[in-house]
Amino acid sequence: MAQEDAFKKIVSHCKEYGFVFPSSDIYDGLGAVYDYGQNGVELKNNIKQYWWQSMVLLHENIVGIDSAIFMHPTVWKASGHVDAFNDPLIDNRDSKKRYRADVLIEDQIAKYDEKIDKEVAKAAKRFGEAFDEAKFRATNPRVLEHTARRDALHKRYSDAMNAMDLDGLKQIILDEGIVCPISGTRNWTDVRQFNLMFKTEVGSTADGASTIYLRPETAQGIFVNYLNVQKTGRMKLPFGIAQIGKAFRNEIVARQFIFRMREFEQMEMQFFVKPGTEIEWFKRWKETRLKWHLALGFGEDNYRFHDHEKLAHYANAACDIEFRMPFGFKEVEGIHSRTDFDLKQHEKFSGKSIKYFDPETGESYTPYDIETSIGVDRMFLSVMCHSYCEEQLPGGETRVVLKLPAALAPTKLAVLPLVKKDGLPEQARAIMNELRFHFNCKYDEKDSIGKRYRRQDAVGTPYCITVDHETAGDGCVTLRDRDTMQQERVPVGKLRELLEDKVSITSLLKKLC
Ligand code: GAP
């Protein structure tokens, strides 16, 4: 299946099975805003729980907070967001459509990459086993030509972005002959800066309302609480503060479903360390975070680090963890060594001293910070993309199955009476009433057993049990595994012990230690 088709299917599956709906759907939706349905919210909560527990339960020196979305407006002046949280925008005069200039150019770079990949795929097919990809990439004239053009464009683009040279960005768009996908013309306006923060007002206008912002990241809520937590928790360096919460950005290019949203959720952890030790900690957090992703079992090949060449002025190291989405490798998480920039800025703008007294050395200093920042929604998307499968079954039938990691699945166990009579529903309910205290179970008695299995496959339920006419006599049920479709007879009394370890978040956490 072409990747584009696969992605479309995943998006419609999300809607059809109660994972993700467009926001305000009955009013035809609101751009780049989505709601999570009955299954989506369970999956999302499990992702958040996995992250939270991996941070706060598994690290004695990490604690959590939950700060407000509204913050004092000076916070965003201090953080640099008021002056510099901008995207370079360009309009097409014919279609009246607005685009991010950097995204137009990045798409152009991706086109060169696609051309190169196509040449490689063609040659691989032609030469079969004897194909030496590295040699082909290094010697094939067409690949070399595309690579040279791509690299030259990349260099020009990086230089223009580093210098925030808006005229330079426009010139690249003109020189590359990039056209508006709607009008097909090159009738572009100049590029200008656009701030991504949403503004609103607090207080009534009569008594002098003041402008405040919806937070564009949760991180600042941690920085402004650094002293509160350090003092009340008597925290000693190194220590971390974790937070999960909503963030808001007025994204202009909102596409790829929940990949880029205007209202989204972040899971961020700021780890405060002694100056001079930050690069060591940065490396440790890169490994720790990759391990967290790999524990889900999606395979090493689907992840890569992207180390930033261009660093923000406050960072001395930065990298992304990228995941192979159907539309290419994309950032899911960022790990940044942010130095002492944020705490120092808040010290300057608030006039309050934010220093750490080091009992070991007797010195006072501003701690350095390593940030790990992951989007819940992007994580959700990567889980859905990896788990969605269409399988051909013997007999020509196909099944759609979500091979979700069991610990993240919305429902862990479906309890199914074989028929709706002969006391089987009552027995099934009794089993369900016992097990639902331990994990999320669903009862279903409608339609044939085959149809019920398919329904559970489509929402990723890892196990189903069927109560049949033998159950009353032998005290056993049939346990069906979602992925293998194998069935085995197990005693009812053993179910909890058999399943709990496989479906709990603890099963994932154990892989991290
Ligand atoms: N505090 C650092 C920070 O916010 P970021 O790279 O801008 O860094 C961190 O965002 C993560 O938040 C990203 O890796 C991504 O997973 C998620 N994210 C950012 N913008 C998003 C958007 N518009 N929609 C969904 N997720 C987003």
Q: Is ligand 1 within 6 A of the CB of residue 264?
A: yes
Q: Is ligand 1 within 6 A of the CB of residue 216?
A: no
What is the residue whose two structure tokens read 């539309």?
Answer: 327
Portion of the chain with pLDDT greater than 90, in percent: 92
Q: Is ligand 1 within 6 A of the CB of residue 326?
A: no
- pLDDT at residue 38 greater than cutoff 70: yes
Average pLDDT, the chain: 95
Helices 101-127 and 141-162, packing angle to 10 deg: 160
From the CA of 260, give the closest atom in ligand 1: 24
- pLDDT at residue 206 greater than cutoff 80: no
Q: Is the dihedral of CA 266, 272, 278, 280 positive or negative?
A: negative
Other CB atoms closer than 10 Å to residue 17's CB: what's the count? Answer: 19
Q: Are strands 398-402 and 413-417 parallel, antiparallel or unpaired?
A: unpaired
Q: Where are the domains of the chain?
A: 90-195, 403-512
Q: Is ligand 1 within 6 A of the CB of residue 251?
A: yes
pLDDT at position 313 is: 84
Mutation choice for ligand 1 from 251, 342, 373, CB with most ligand atoms inside 8 A: 373
Q: How far is CA 353 from CA 73, 79, 330, 360, in A?
A: 19, 16, 39, 20
CA distance linking residue 202 with residue 212, whole number of Å: 7
- What are 311's strand-pairing partners? none
Q: How far is the CA of 81 from the centre of ligand 1 (A)?
A: 14
| Stretch 12-32: mean pLDDT | 97
- pLDDT at residue 89 greater than cutoff 70: yes
Q: Are strands 388-392 and 303-307 parallel, antiparallel or unpaired?
A: unpaired
Q: How far is the CA of 420 from the centre of ligand 1 (A)?
A: 49
CA distance linking residue 202 with residue 208, whole number of Å: 9
The pLDDT tens digits for 384-400 are: 999 999 999 988 899 99
Q: Is ligand 1 within 6 A of the CB of residue 345?
A: no
Q: Is 216 within 8 Å of 248 (Cβ atoms)?
A: yes
| CA 411 to centroid of chain Cα atoms | 21
Q: Is ligand 1 within 6 A of the CB of residue 378?
A: yes
CA distance linking residue 133 with residue 210, whole number of Å: 60
Higher pLDDT, 2 or 86: 86
Confidence tier at 208 by pLDDT (50, 70, 90): low
Considering only CA atoms, which residue is closest to atom 4 of ligand 1?
Answer: 217
Confidence tier at 311 by pLDDT (50, 70, 90): confident
| Stretch 76-102: mean pLDDT | 95
Q: Is ligand 1 within 6 A of the CB of residue 260?
A: yes
pLDDT at position 298 is: 98
Q: Is ligand 1 within 6 A of the CB of residue 215?
A: no
The pLDDT tens digits for 209-242 are: 789 999 999 999 999 999 999 999 999 999 999 9
Q: Is 268 within 8 Å of 217 (Cβ atoms)?
A: yes
Q: Is ligand 1 within 6 A of the CB of residue 373?
A: yes
Tell me how long the chain is: 513
What is the residue whose two structure tokens read 């009013």?
Answer: 27
Q: How far is the CA of 375 from the centre of ligand 1 (A)?
A: 6
Considering only CA atoms, which residue is closest to atom 25 of ligand 1?
Answer: 260
- pLDDT at residue 5 greater than cutoff 90: no
pLDDT at position 1 is: 63
What is the residue whose two structure tokens read 């329904």?
Answer: 455
- pLDDT at residue 453 greater than cutoff 70: yes
Tokens standing for 281?
Answer: 């900690």
Q: How far is the CA of 247 from the centre of ligand 1 (A)?
A: 9
| Cα end-to-end span (Å), the chain | 38
H helices of 351-448, in order, are 376-387, 424-435
Per-residue exposure over 256-293, b if at least 16 CB sit within 10 Å of its own CB, e if not = bbbbbbbbbbbbbbbbbbbeeebeebbeebbebbbebb
Tokens standing for 348?
Answer: 């300057």
Residues with Cβ within 8 Å of residue 445, at least 6 apart in sequence: 416, 417, 420, 425, 428
Considering only CA atoms, which residue is closest to atom 19 of ligand 1?
Answer: 375
The pLDDT tens digits for 56-77 are: 999 999 999 999 999 999 999 9
Beta strands in 326-367 (DSSP E): 328-339, 356-357, 364-365
Q: Which CATH number fits domain 403-512: 3.20.20.70, 3.50.50.60, 3.30.930.10, 3.40.50.800?
A: 3.40.50.800
Per-residue exposure over 320-337, b if at least 16 CB sit within 10 Å of its own CB, e if not = bbbbbbbbeebbbbbbbb
Other CB atoms closer than 10 Å to residue 298's CB: what's the count? Answer: 19
pLDDT at position 207 is: 64
From the CA of 333, give the closest atom in ligand 1: 14
The pLDDT tens digits for 134-186 are: 999 999 999 999 999 999 999 999 899 888 899 999 999 999 999 999 999 99
pLDDT at position 205 is: 63
Q: Is ligand 1 within 6 A of the CB of residue 249?
A: yes
Cα 177–Cα 178–Cα 182 angle in degrees, nearest 5: 130
- pLDDT at residue 402 greater than cutoff 80: yes
Burial class (CB in 10 A: 0-12, 13-18, 19+), 504: middle
The pTM of the whole model exceeds 0.85? yes
Phi, psi of 331 (to 5 degrees): -65, 130
Does residue 79 sit in helix, strand or coil?
Answer: helix
The pLDDT tens digits for 259-304 are: 999 999 999 999 999 999 999 999 999 999 999 999 999 999 999 9
